[in-house]
Every structure is written in structure tokens, then in C-alpha cells.
Amino acid sequence: MPDMVLLETEEAMEHRLDALSKELAKVRTGRANPRVLDDVKVEYYGALTPLSQIGNISVPEPAQLIVKPYDRSILGAIEKAINAANLGLNPSNEGTQLRIVLPALTQETRKGLVKDIHKLGEEYKVYVRNSRRDGNDAIKKMEKSHEISEDDSKGYHEDIQELTNNYTNQIDELIKAKEIDIMHI
């Protein structure tokens, strides 16, 4: 039973690490990345549909994205959705596709992005610590109900702390790698 608590705690922390990786992939660097458009939803047959499901997004050059819809009739809706997403991108309609030229990041913009990802990293560390707290609480309940001994409880608390340290270090590594990516010109 306590091993299940340990496993659930680790799964929760792993889930947070995966979520952070996905969030960081959306942050713009100096190069074009189709993941920047992941959150763009387009009105298609009355439903908000992710852009990636109704068109192909490619990177022909390091600072350009091409969006080619499977159905040309929704090109205007895609253009409107990208503009509405407030990503700082201006798509240019070429009749059959949209070309998005990514503006160069200024040093000031890069520093702002680095500050934002550090905040994001701290936010995800809090999520990991909350998972630690939940795991520790579950272990304490087991100790109080005499399902496990006090010594076993202490050992499980140490295991949970070790997991927490491991995942916060991984978060730091992800943030540091993204910071290098953003600041590289």
C-alpha cells in the first residue's frame, strides 16, 4: 500500500514535468517552431478545432512557418484565429496557404521570455512540492492507522523527498536548456 502512494506521487511529478516540457515548447525562440501554433483553435463547422487537425504546418526556413489547410475554404478563418491568438504573428494570405514570417527577437524580448520561463519553472516546482505534500499526508495517515511502522514511515518520507529533489532538478535543467535556446542568436 505505501508503495502505491510512492508510485502515485512519482506519476504526479512525472505528469508535471511532461506538462512543463509542453509549455516550454510553445515559447518562441529565434527559430520557427510549429508548436507555437498549438493553442490556436479555428472555427470549423461550428466547432473550435485545433489548427494542427485542419491543416499542415511546416517550416520552410528558420524564421518562417507555412500553414496549408486541408480545406482551402477555411483559409480566412485560420488567418483570423492566428491573429486572435495574440501570438505577435502576422500571417500573410497567399491564396492556398498562409506564410508567417517570425519577427526577430530583440535582446529585451529575449530577457522577458527568460523571466517568463523562470516563473513557469517556479510554478511547476510548486506543483511538484504539492505532490510531495499529498504523498507525505497519505503516508502519515497510514502511520496513524498503524498500517506501517514509524520507521517505515520515515523511510517513505525520505523516498518522497528524494523524488521531489530529482524532479525539481529536472525542472531546473529544462529551464536552463530553454534559457540557452532563447538567448542564443
Whether the per-residue pLDDT at 175 is higher than 80: the answer is: yes
Average pLDDT, the chain: 89
Does position 62 have pLDDT exceeding 90, yes or no? no
Both 39 and 21 in one domain: the answer is no
Residue at 123: amino acid letter: E
Task: Find out whether 75 and 69 touch, Cβ atoms under 8 Å.
Answer: yes
Q: Show the domain range for 63.
A: 34-101
> What is the reported pTM?
0.76
Contact 123, 19 (CB under 8 A): no
Of residues 86 and 16, the one with the higher pLDDT is 16
CA angle (7 as vertex; 142, 154 as ends), nearest 5: 45
Instruction: Decide: 78 and 94 in contact? Cβ < 8 Å.
Output: no
Please tell me whether residues 83 and 130 are part of one structural domain: no
CATH of the domain at 43: 3.30.1360.40
* pLDDT tens, position by position, 102-156: 877 788 888 988 999 999 999 999 999 999 999 999 999 999 999 999 898 999 9
Distance, in Å, from the CA atom of 18 to the CA atom of 144, rounded to the nearest integer, reads 34
Residue 125 CB contacts under 8 Å (≥ 6 apart), including other chains: 168, 171
E strand or H helix at 130, and its extent?
Answer: helix 107-144
113 and 175 assigned to the same domain: yes
Task: Provide the number of structural domains found in the chain.
Answer: 2
> Which of 43-47, 85-89, 131-135, 152-156 is the least confident region?
85-89
Q: In the prediction, which pLDDT does 2 show?
A: 82
Amino acid 72: pLDDT? 87
In the chain, DSSP finds a helix count (H) and a strand count (E) of: 5, 6
Q: What distance in Å separates the CA atoms of residue 11 and residue 6, rounded to the nearest whole number? A: 9
Kindly tell me if the per-residue pLDDT of 172 is higher than 90: yes
**Of 69, 84, 101, which one is at a domain's C-terminal end?**
101
Do 149 and 168 belong to one domain?
A: yes
Average pLDDT for 76-81: 90
Mean of pLDDT values over 148-172: 93
Structural element, H or E, at residue 68: strand 64-69
Looking at residue 185, what is its pLDDT?
A: 64
Q: Hey, what's the cell of 71?
A: 480545406
The pLDDT of residue 63:
83
Tell me how far apart the alpha carbons of residues 130 and 125 are, in angstroms, rounded to a whole number. Answer: 9
Interatomic CA distance for residues 8 and 15, integer angstroms: 10
